[in-house]
Structure 1
C-alpha cells in the first residue's frame, strides 16, 4: 500500500452505481424509478408470532397465484398449448370397452405431436395385439383427434414397442380400478 492507508477489504458498488458506470446513456439516478428496498433480517416473520392460520393464508395466497398463472408463450402444439390440450381432452373421452377408464389415463397414448399447421400425430398402443378393438380403436382415435377445431389432419401411429403394462396407467386410473 503506497498511500499509507489500511485497505483490508473493498466494498462492492451498489447495483445503481454499477449501472450508471456501465450504462452512462441511461437517465440519471433521480430520473430512474426508485429501487426496491433491500430485505432485512428484521423483516423476516417470527415463527413464534405467526399463527397457523396466518401461515396457511400466506401459503394459500402463494399457491393460488402460482396455479392461476399460465405459461406466457406456449406454441399451440406443445404440451400446455391450446391445440395440444384440446386433442388430449378429446382422447380422454374415448373409453376402453373392457376397462372403465379412458385410453389416455390407461396409458395407451404414448404421444401427441401437433404442428402449428394443425397436423396431429397420435402415437398409441393397445393392451395386447389380440385386443378385440385392435381394428376399430385406432380409427376412433383418428376421428376424435381430427374432430378437434383447429386440427387440419390427424394420423394415428400404432406401435407395440414398448409394450403396454399396468405401470403406464395414471394414478387416477389405478384408483378407479382399485389398484392403489
Structure 2
C-alpha cells in the first residue's frame, strides 16, 4: 500500500498539475507563452498575435493561425518556424501547422491585460 496514494489522487484531480493531467491545448498555450515578439518584450499569446488554435488531442495535431504586428515585419519569413518549433516541443504534439494571416490586421486591442500592464499601457 502506497502511503502517498491520496496525494497522487488529489494532484491528478487538479487541473494543471503536471503534464500528464494537463490538456494538450493548455500545454500548447504554455509553449506559446515562451515565444516572444522580436520587437516587443511580450509573448505572442498575450500580445494577441495568435488568432486561433485548433488542437486535436487524439491525433496530436495542432493548427495555429497567427499574425505579426506589421506585414513588413523583418521576421515574417522565419517566425512561423519559430512558433512551430515551440509547439513541437510539447509532449503529445505530432503535427504542427502555423499559418501566417494578415486579416484582420493586428491592433493593440487584441493584447491581454497582462501584456498591457507589462508595457505600461494600463
**TM over 0.5, shorter chain:** yes
The structure whose residues are more often strand, as a share, is 2
Counterparts of 1:164 and 1:94, CA distance in 2 = 17
Aligned pair partner of 2:115 in 173, 177, 180: 173
Q: Which residue of 1 aligns with 2:98?
A: 156
Deviation at 1:69, TM superposition (A): 6.4
Q: Which runs of 5+ in 2 are unaligned?
A: 1-12, 16-21
- Deviation, structure 1 residue 135: 1.2
Q: What is the TM-score with the length of structure 2 in the denominator?
A: 0.80
Aligned to 1:99: 40
3-state secondary structure, aligned to 2:53: strand
Measure, in 2, the Cα distance between the counterparts of 1:133 and 1:144. 16
* In structure 2, distance between residues paired with 1:83 and 1:111: 15
Corresponding pairs, count: 103
Aligned equivalent of 1:110: 51
Which ranges of structure 1 fall in alignment gaps of 5 or more residues? 1-67, 71-80
Q: TM-score under structure 1 normalisation?
A: 0.55
Deviations 1:117-148 (A, max 9, x none): 10100110011110111111111001111121
Of the two structures, which has the highest relative contact order with CA contacts closer than 8 Å and spacing of 6 or more? 2
**Distance in structure 2 (CA, Å) of the matches to 1:147 and 1:99:** 23
Paired with 2:103 and 2:37, the residues of 1 have a C-alpha distance of 20
Larger Rg, first or second structure (1 or 2): 1
- SS of residue paired to 2:46: helix
CA distance in 2, matches of 1:149, 1:69: 19
Rounded to whole Å, the distance in 1 between the matches of 2:63 and 2:114 is: 25
- Aligned runs of 1:63-102 on 2, under 5 Å? 70=15, 82-102=23-43
Deviations 1:28-85 (A, max 9, x none): xxxxxxxxxxxxxxxxxxxxxxxxxxxxxxxxxxxxxxxx965xxxxxxxxxx61001
